[in-house]
Chain A
Amino acid sequence: MGSITLKQVTKSFGDVNVIKPLDLEIRDGEFIVFVGPSGCGKSTLLRMIAGLEDTTSGTIEIDNQDATDMPPAQRGLAMVFQSYALYPHMSVRNNIAFPLKQAKVEPAIIEQKIEKAAKMLNLTDYLDRKPGQLSGGQRQRVAIGRAIVRQPSAFLFDEPLSNLDASLRVNMRLEISELHKSLDTTMIYVTHDQVEAMTMADRIAVFNGGIIEQVGTPLELYQKPVNQFVAGFIGSPKMNFISVDAKAGDPTCSLGVRPEHFKITEEEGLWTGRVGVIEHLGSETFLHVHVDGVGTLTVKADGDCKVAYGDIIHLAAAEEKIMYFDKDGVTIPELSWGEEHPSSAA
């Protein structure tokens, strides 16, 4: 229970095509993250799956049933909104009970389910409070609790952590991952934060301009991005792109090197530059190196790196870590990750 199949799904608002024909198979029990810059259509697609937006063409199947024109409540999905969308005048208890009351569940069973959900989410002490008296993280948990009690076939999360502060976000990230492991239910999670995507997802779908650029596990996307967009979007700090002069017979137009794959060398390396801003994070150091004719490269070094502002340093990178892109920004697989994975470029 909980597989969702999108077949040639599109969405347009007037003349604007927000989602271009798109196919996606979401497997039962999987945690899939839709990631992409704002305005790329990821939230719209989520709302289409939820039934809050009409589908312009194509079909959405939930558990092999055509759900394209089903009203939201019948799809058996639960959604956690960015603003939490709690009912402000109801207590936490009534908020969580609301979907059950609408489904005419017996009061005794409702009470039982509330207790269970509250225990799971550490909300037992807050059941009689109003949402206005709760902190951001607690409201988030109430929203999740309201979703859990319905026992949906899939959970939809629409940027649920974007209103929380940084440390709380890390905690909630873990809690949601934990929840996924214990419930073993399909989860679709929309975010613009690639760190959230990388840490939580079984699979990631990278969106850009209404299309899916690549779907894969976090490591696949990191190691074998199919194009420059995915390569730049996944990984933090982002990959350095270095344009090179095209040679006859060589399609390479630019190289990609991740900051963590540079080596600072004593002798002459591939690039030579002057160190600009240095960011010390303790465990690691980020150097912004100005290289003539290339631009500024971000380099990740050790935490105790002794380089100072204005130093001239040499940079090298292992050949197998360098990515090669052609003039359209598409990865050249033979050069980027050897001949043995040509199929991954598809």
Chain B
Amino acid sequence: MATTQSRTLAKIMLFPSVSLLLAWMIVPLCMTLYFSVLDYNLLMPGDNEFIGFLNYEFFLTDPAFIESFFNTLLLVGGVLFITICGGIGLAVLLDQAIWGRNYVRIMVLAPFFVMPTVSALVWKNMFMNPVNGLFAHFAEFIGVTPIDFFAQLPLLSIIIIVSWQWLPFAALILLTAIQSLDREQLEAADLDGAGPWSKFVYIVLPHLSRAVTAVILIETIFLLSIFAEILVTTSGGPGYSSTNITYLIYTQSLLQFDVGGGSAGGIVAVVIANIVAIFLMRLIGKNLEG
């Protein structure tokens, strides 16, 4: 990509794919924007007349919106916290030379390959069920009242399920980062008199900061749009206590057949995602430089 000629050629060659991707993104976005200013409800077929920002007003002033907004933040933040902390711990453990390490690594990665609906159902029916679940049996065994997870702790239950799914991803990325650490640095620290904890805090953790940043950014993108786990476990309830923005938009547009309101919610979600993205890049993006 050095000469003017090769740069021009590169632009020409890139043009078809870039324009296709752009259209792929722009057309649905424009349609959503268009729908969001219409009175468009599938239950009341009519003229779909223009109503300005009324859809936005209804969506943003809905008490469910505020609740689901904070639920979204709690869900993303909680899962990030659990997966990063647990991921670092797992990565350090998996980095140790143990017998059958390669098999252990594959087993640890397994949850990531289970589809969200399946893993949520497994958790719902096998673990968290207040009558037949493993946790309920354990609670009975030690003589306490079983917790009805999805009724008493709906959001926490979803955080646990999603964390279980994403922990392997974080552990794997962090493990490769740990393995790229220069062993001579650890040996130098050994000679400098650093114990295991000092080595972890002063050498390993700073080395992991870039990988942690990457994990946070990637996970945030996916965690903002958690949907299947909520649908198959709590359906957003009780009330709105486990509804996030994504699920709220689904309720709006597909359960209430309000396409206009759903579209307005979608645009709000796009704005929120961008705010989160800017916030994250400001906060930790500098770790990715250099």
Contacts and interface: CB of A to CB of B under 8 A. Distances in A.
Interface of A: 50-52, 71-73, 77-79, 81-83, 85-90, 98-99, 102-103, 132, 146, 150
Contacts of A150: 192
Nearest to A53: B187
B193 A99 contact: yes
Interface in B162-189: 182, 184-185, 187-189
A52 B187 contact: yes
Given A98-B202, A132-B290, A85 B187 contact: yes
A89 B191 contact: no
Contacts of B188: 79, 81, 85, 87, 146
Contacts of B185: 85-87
Contacts of A103: 193
A98 B290 contact: no
Contact of B192 (A73, A88, A89): A73
Contacts of A71: 190
Nearest to B192: A99
Contact of B182 (A52, A77, A85): A85
Contacts of A90: 202, 206
A52 B190 contact: yes
A298 to B, nearest CB: 38
A83 B182 CA distance: 9
A48 to B, nearest CB: 13
Interface of B: 182, 184-185, 187-195, 198, 202-203, 206-207, 209, 290
- Name A's interface SS: loop
A88 B182 CA distance: 10
B192 A146 contact: yes
A81 B184 contact: yes
A133 B176 CA distance: 26
A81 B190 CA distance: 13
Given A73-B191, A78-B191, A89 B182 contact: no
A81 B189 CA distance: 12
18 contacts: A51-B191, A52-B187, A52-B190, A52-B191, A72-B187, A73-B193, A79-B188, A81-B184, A82-B184, A85-B185, A85-B188, A87-B185, A87-B203, A88-B207, A89-B209, A90-B206, A102-B194, A150-B192
A51 B188 CA distance: 11
A89 B206 contact: yes
A-B pairs with lowest CB-CB distance, top 3: A73-B193, A99-B192, A85-B184
A202 B203 CA distance: 36
Given A79-B188, A81-B188, A99-B192, 13 more contacts: A51-B191, A52-B190, A72-B187, A73-B193, A83-B184, A85-B187, A87-B185, A90-B206, A98-B202, A99-B191, A102-B193, A102-B198, A146-B192
Contacts of B187: 52, 72, 79, 81, 85
B75 to A, nearest CB: 32
A103 B290 CA distance: 32
Contacts of A51: 190-191
Most chain A beta-carbon neighbours within 10 Å: one of B182, B191, B207: B191
Contacts of B184: 81-83, 85
Nearest to B186: A85
Contacts, number: 61
Contacts of A83: 182, 184
A52 B189 CA distance: 11
Given A85-B182, A132-B290, A98 B194 contact: yes
Contacts of A86: 185
Most chain A beta-carbon neighbours within 10 Å: one of B185, B187, B190, B206: B187
Contacts of B290: 132
Most chain A beta-carbon neighbours within 10 Å: one of B192, B193, B203: B192
Contacts of A50: 191
A280 B203 CA distance: 50
A102 B195 CA distance: 8
Most chain B beta-carbon neighbours within 10 Å: one of A99, A103, A150: A99
Contacts of A81: 184, 187-188
A71 B190 CA distance: 8
A50 B184 CA distance: 13
Given A85-B185, A132-B290, A72 B191 contact: yes
Nearest to B206: A89
B223 to A, nearest CB: 28
Contacts of A72: 187, 190-191
Contacts of B209: 89
Contacts of A98: 189, 192, 194, 202
Contact of B190 (A73, A88, A132, A146): A73
Contacts of B193: 73, 99, 102-103
A87 B191 contact: no
Contacts of B190: 51-52, 71-73
A14 to B, nearest CB: 15
A317 B202 CA distance: 62
Most chain A beta-carbon neighbours within 10 Å: one of B190, B193, B290: B193
A150 B191 CA distance: 10
A27 B114 CA distance: 64
Contacts of B198: 102
B290 to A, nearest CB: 7
Nearest to A80: B188
Contacts of A89: 206-207, 209
Contacts of A87: 185, 188-189, 202-203, 206
